[in-house]
Structure 1
Amino acid sequence: MKKIIIAIFAIVSLVGCNTTSDFTENNTIDTGVVSLSQGSIGSLDINSKEIFTDVKDIATLTPTVIVGQVKSVPESFDYSQATFFKAEVEIKEIYRDTEKNLKKGDTITLLQNDIVSVDPLVEKNEKVLLFLKKYTGPVIEDAYRTLGSYQGHFRINKDGDIIVVGNKKEHRIKDINSLSLETLDEVLADAPYVPLETNPMTKEEIEKGNKKEKELEKRYKEEQVQVQNQSH
């Protein structure tokens, strides 16, 4: 259960919002917007619909889809007691760009936070498929973040296959194995982009969320130590 909760924090820590929902005993999220008490830094439109169960769901809510090559080692920086990473990604192919602001050869900044078991940082020189949204929060200017955090982040291997990153058991997109670069245009055509309403967080809400996340991460680590001690 704890790993799933941390996975949700990886998403919300980049974006955040200010209305309510609760975790259920089955480790899912009830219908509605993820609450501040479950989030931290940011000011974008994350909600329960950004935890996807199939390819069409994530395609519908994604304004920008690209294949790119990572050109830099992710650089860490701190904001409001949280650590983030930025990396430069050169665009190799554009599959969707609703704002018509990008072209092949452009370099964009990708914003991530680092929860290794869920959403590993991109690596220099690797090829990636990214379902993106422009980041407009207080953490950084002129950057993009992935939809659903790890759910919008894939590696492309040397054979051109799409590879899920992070914890595959918690990826949740049930038909992801059917997705390929050859079918991606068709998938996006069948799932036109539908934007979501946004509710920016205040600075006070961001700080409160950061504090809550640190408390939960500390509790998670303590419980992991207890589990390890009991197994010996």
Structure 2
Amino acid sequence: MARLLVIEDDAEIGGALQAALERHGHHVAVVATGAAGLRAAAGDPLDLIVLDLGLPDLDGVEVCRRLRSTLPAVVIVMLTARSREMDVVVGLEVGADDYLTKPVSSSELVARIQAHLRRTEPSHTSWRSRSLGALVVDVASRRVTVAGEEVPLRRKEFDLLTRLVAEPGVAVTRETLMADVWDEHWHGSTKTLDVHVASLRRKLASVGADAPRIVTLRGHGYRLEADPTAARDQ
């Protein structure tokens, strides 16, 4: 049973979501404001938070930023009725793992949440750690280092890098990355992927030239640029 927090000021949406998730055996708390959400998140450990960006007191993006700073491992799924793409991008950049645009059915949202809860470890890994040049990805400890310097990554950033390093030098399609890292039934925008790739690039680049590069293959996907013979399983 997972512990979930829903921060949603629409009582009808919050109630329907709570009922649907509790039918799946989860413990669900629902609050209507950003301030109440931050207080609730400071209590018992949580596995996932559903966060509406359109809250009556605090800006949802700011709430997301504060949640991520105190809960680095929790999954955050944003709900947004905002039409501006930039709002979604900013929300993802400050810490959200995923988003859905309203109106959204309870069944679709529950399916997405269930997919996130199942993904406690990337399904494509059969190894404990992998080295690729100066890069070391340790799945067991969920740590990434480049030339001995640790690179702090969020949950989905780590999962994305793990998927790319599983096939160094190989072009991986956008569809494959979305299926392996997010949800095999994903049919929405892949903006989530683009933002996470951009953030991962910045973090790898910040530790110096020894870090591998993520190359964009327009119209196809991404490739982790490194000598494939340098990779080894342990």
TM-score by length of 2: 0.22
TM-score by length of 1: 0.22
Higher relative contact order (CA 8 A, sep 6+): 1
- Which protein has the bigger helix share? 2
